[in-house]
Amino acid sequence: MVISSLAAMHAQPGIAHYSAAKAGLVAMVRVMAAEWAPHGVRVNTVHPTTTATPMALNDATYRTFRPDLDEPAREDFEEAARTLNRLPVALIEPADVTEAVLHLVADSGRHVTGTTMVIDAGARL
């Protein structure tokens, strides 16, 4: 199981390096899935949107999303981030990613390999 990012699936200005690295994981997983499937090994990627972790919840991210404010707070960031999703959420929770991973590694996902599971809150990217 590899955790990638929605950035691997959608072009977002300013993070070419991050998107390229995450997209590379997709190619690697697809090859690994093809090579290991005969041995019963499954390999998949999960692609979450903005998640409530320190990577997103920090002053630099707040300023990126709200350059109009001198000292934006989390609430200001969430107001802007909410516009990126069709579902009425600004961020997903780490538990949302965990649930997707659990499905893929459990018996319920026993026939899934070489796939990309997107958890995007209906992203408008």
pLDDT at 114: 97
62 catalytic, yes or no? Answer: no
CATH T-level fold of 2-119: Rossmann fold (3.40.50)
Which tens digits make up the pLDDT trace of 27-84?
999 999 999 999 999 999 999 999 999 999 999 999 999 999 999 999 999 999 999 9
Task: Please report, for residues 12, 78, 103, 110, the alpha-carbon distance to residue 34 in angstroms, rounded to integers and kept in the order given.
Answer: 29, 40, 20, 15
Catalytic residue among 1, 12, 16, 18: 18
pLDDT at 12: 83
Give the residue from 65, 1, 27 showing the smallest Cα distance to 73.
Answer: 65
The pTM score is 0.90
What span, in angstroms and rounded, lies between the C-alpha atoms of 19 and 28? 14
